[in-house]
Chains A and B, each alone.
Chain A
Amino acid sequence: DGGITQSPKYLFRKEGQNVTLSCEQNLNHDAMYWYRQDPGQGLRLIYYSQIVNDFQKGDIAEGYSVSREKKESFPLTVTSAQKNPTAFYLCASRDKSGGDKNIQYFGAGTRLSVL
């Protein structure tokens, strides 16, 4: 899974609780992404960041929040407002200096379940 580390591998959330998923990369990539994957489905974009201290909502941002204080780190918080958080969460990064190539590199994922 390259130089992207997601932790924890498994996470359990209680009702009303916020939980934070960690994503760290040592690839020196500018852009980072968070995706949600439901069983048997493709990836849906939650948030992305192209530079430190800046991020944009993806297609399903409601109930999630992110920060990008360091180039290497892009944590995702699943808030209590996300009523159906059970899913597989994938973090990715991209080297913007790759020109027109938009190849993304993925972490191993975090599986979030609700208790």
Chain B
Amino acid sequence: SQQGEEDPQALSIQEGENATMNCSYKTSINNLQWYRQNSGRGLVHLILIRSNEREKHSGRLRVTLDTSKKSSSLLITASRAADTASYFCATDPRDSSYKLIFGSGTRLLVRP
């Protein structure tokens, strides 16, 4: 069951610009996570935000969480060509036993 839906599906920006991607989900969660996937590779965990947190920062990443709207956003500031990848949100549902539900992903292209 796909819970997270991401928007946009694809995003193309110039190096140095900010990239924002959004994630919506359906049920109550323990936390929400963002992962990155380079083409043809596995996923790498980027950042986790708990359900009682509203904003979190890690380097050039900023994540927000609005549990009333069941939505999250990931902002990558001052993007670089190396940020080109697919980004997935994953929710840790309250009613599920250690399973993550992944969204469909946003494909980000950062043009040099």
Contact = CB atoms under 8 A, between A and B. Distances in A.
Contacts of B33: 102-103
Contacts of B25: none
Contacts of B107: 40
Nearest to A35: B102
B78 interface: no
A52 to B, nearest CB: 15
The CB with the most chain A CB atoms within 10 A, among B42, B92, B104, is that of B42
Given A48-B99, A50-B97, A102 B92 contact: yes
A1 interface: yes
B31 to A, nearest CB: 7
B97 A90 contact: no
Interface stretch (B12-20, B43-51, B53-61, B62-70): B43-51
Contacts of B102: 35, 42-44
A42 B45 contact: no
B42 A90 contact: yes
The size class of the interface chain B forms with chain A is 20 to 34
B30 A102 contact: yes
Given A42-B4, A42-B103, A108 B31 contact: no
Interface in B81-112: 88, 90, 92, 97-100, 102-105, 107
A15 interface: no
The size class of the interface chain A forms with chain B is 20 to 34
A50 B4 contact: no
A109 interface: yes
Interface string A30-68: 010101000011111100101000000011000000000
Contacts of A71: none
Interface of B: 1-2, 4, 30-31, 33, 40-45, 48, 50, 88, 90, 92, 97-100, 102-105, 107
Given A1-B41, A4-B42, A90-B43, 5 more contacts: A44-B102, A101-B48, A102-B33, A104-B90, A111-B40
